[in-house]
Amino acid sequence: MAYLNANIPPIECFIRSNFLQNRTEFDETKDIYLPVLIFGVASVPHRVPLFHFIMEDEGVWFRMPIHAFCHKENTPQEELYNLVLWDSFSSYKRVRYDRRWEPLLYLYLKILYSRNL
């Protein structure tokens, strides 16, 4: 079903290794942060938006939730309900990218993550 997935502008960030290893316990002191490049999003009804990414070793992963990612290493993990206020309503979506929004998006992300600095 091609309509589930959409391309987004690439985002460089880190992923917590416990999401790749399917560990249930989370210990921030033992966790490893791996650099990734997010390139796509999936919209599955009644689920949070899920993201596709590629790792440095060229491994491609699909459908990771937003709280698996962080903007820098050793960032505290946020709960999913704090990051996503509603689930996907439909499999159909539209990604609109406008370069005029880049400064606003950067400012929003800076404000969002300033409390974790």
Phi-psi region of 101 (alpha: psi -120 to 50; beta: other; left: phi over 0): alpha
Distance CA 103, CA 81 (A): 26
Please return the burial class of 76, using the count of CB atoms within 10 Å of its CB with bins 0-12, 13-18 and 19+: exposed
pLDDT for position 55: 93
Domain map of the chain by residue range? 2-116
pLDDT averaged per 10 residues, the chain (length 117): 76 87 64 89 85 91 89 83 75 62 54 49
Give the tokens for residue 97: 């990218």
CB-CB neighbours of 4 under 10 Å:
16
Q: What is the dihedral of CA 101, 105, 111, 114, to 10 degrees?
A: -140
pLDDT for position 28: 60
